[in-house]
Structure 1
Amino acid sequence: MGDDVVDLIMSDHRELERLFDTLENEPDKRAALLPVMTTLLTAHSRAEESEVYPAAREAGGEDDVQHSQQEHLLADQLAEKLAATDPDSDAFPAALKELVDAVKHHVEEEETTVLPGMRERLDDARRAELGQAFLSAREEHLGQQPGEVSKAELNQQAANAGISGASSMSKSELKSELEDAAEE
């Protein structure tokens, strides 16, 4: 696979799909796998937001990045809701389905627009450089759960989503603005 950022992102997508499948089909494993899935999803999202989306935007994919960021915001909300749901409860399957559907939709769009665009517009060396940055950022965020986000990360999400004036907002104002963007 190497260090190509596109390959690394797609590898994470396949791992998330595998975890979703297990969570959906093996209820006895839900309690153990739920935090694994949510931490991978969170770390993957934060790494894309901080390292990949700014590069994709610079390479001409501004609209795709804004849309992808909005989908990340929605996935964060759904993952936070799922993490707060008892894996043995009757509400868990519906909450899981909502998250899985949203993430699968995002993955499909990202793999048909953002990632092919990066392959076309960025040379091998730049994609390898981004791959290393992605891996470092993902490692830095492993262990975080949905909802655990710093003001700097919120500012980056706002930039990716095309929200202006973020630096002058408080953390709670910014979080509220991003929640609204997720619903668009």
Structure 2
Amino acid sequence: MPADLIDVLVAEHRRLESLFADAETAPTPERRRAALAVALDALARHAAAEERFLHPALREWLPAGPEIVEYEQAEHDSIARDAAGCRGGDVPAALFDAVRQHMQEEETEIFPRLSQACPPPRLLELGALLKSARVTE
């Protein structure tokens, strides 16, 4: 069954959770740095995907979409600044906690609203576009 935009983003959230856990539990500093680099790269790609696919859908389909996108973008910017400051260092527990909270807000507040407002065929189309973009990265 094809995955819609929300399904794809939630799957990415679960992957990020797994990558964060890898970084948090790596047995050596070298493995921790390597796992952290993978997690931060995946986080940056995920944020870019949300900005490219999710944010325009929110603007188009939700009455408060522009305000939600402004809030989301501010969170993405803050997370990106924090991530840039920790590359190659210790596992950033506060950063991971902020990302986990952001993902929870999306899954419990934003995604359900978008799912109700946006036609399912459009969500499927956006999901396919996102998956296609991932293949070319």
TM bracket (short chain): 0.7 to 0.9
Once residues 37 and 15 of structure 1 are traced to their aligned partners in structure 2, the CA distance between those partners, rounded to angstroms, is 9
Q: Which residue of 1 aligns with 2:3?
A: 3
Secondary structure of the residue aligned to 1:82 is coil
How far did 1:138 drift? 4.2
Following superposition, the deviation at residue 139 of structure 1 comes to 4.7
Question: What RMSD over aligned residues (CA atoms) do the two structures have, in Å?
Answer: 1.7
- TM-score, normalization by structure 1: 0.66
Moved more, 32-41 or 22-31: 22-31
The 5 A counterparts of 1:21-170 are 21-28=21-28, 29-60=31-62, 61-83=65-87, 85-86=88-89, 92-93=90-91, 96-139=92-135, 142=137
Inter-CA distance 72–27: structure 2 relative to 1 (3 Å threshold): farther
User: Shift in Å at residue 125 of structure 1?
Assistant: 0.8
Cα distance between partner residues in 2 of 1:114 and 1:57: 12
1:118 offset after TM fit, Å?
1.3
Structure 2 unaligned spans of 5+: none
Contact 2:6 2:111 in 1 (8 A): yes
Q: CA deviation at 1:73?
A: 0.7
CA–CA separation in structure 1 for the residues paired with 2:96 and 2:2 = 28
Matched-pair contact (CA < 8 Å) for 1:44–1:138: no
Tell me the matched-pair count. Answer: 133
Distance 2:83 2:2 in 1: 29
Indicate the percent of aligned positions where both proteins have the same amino acid.
35
In the TM superposition, residue 5 of structure 1 has moved relative to its aligned partner by 0.6
Distance in structure 2 (CA, Å) of the matches to 1:136 and 1:80: 27
Deviation at 1:49, TM superposition (A): 0.3
Tell whether the 8 Å contact from 1:4 to 1:127 is kept in structure 2 after alignment: yes
Q: Using CA pairs under 8 Å that are at least 6 residues apart, name the structure with larger relative contact order, 1 or 2.
A: 2
Q: Scaled by the length of structure 2, what TM-score is found?
A: 0.86
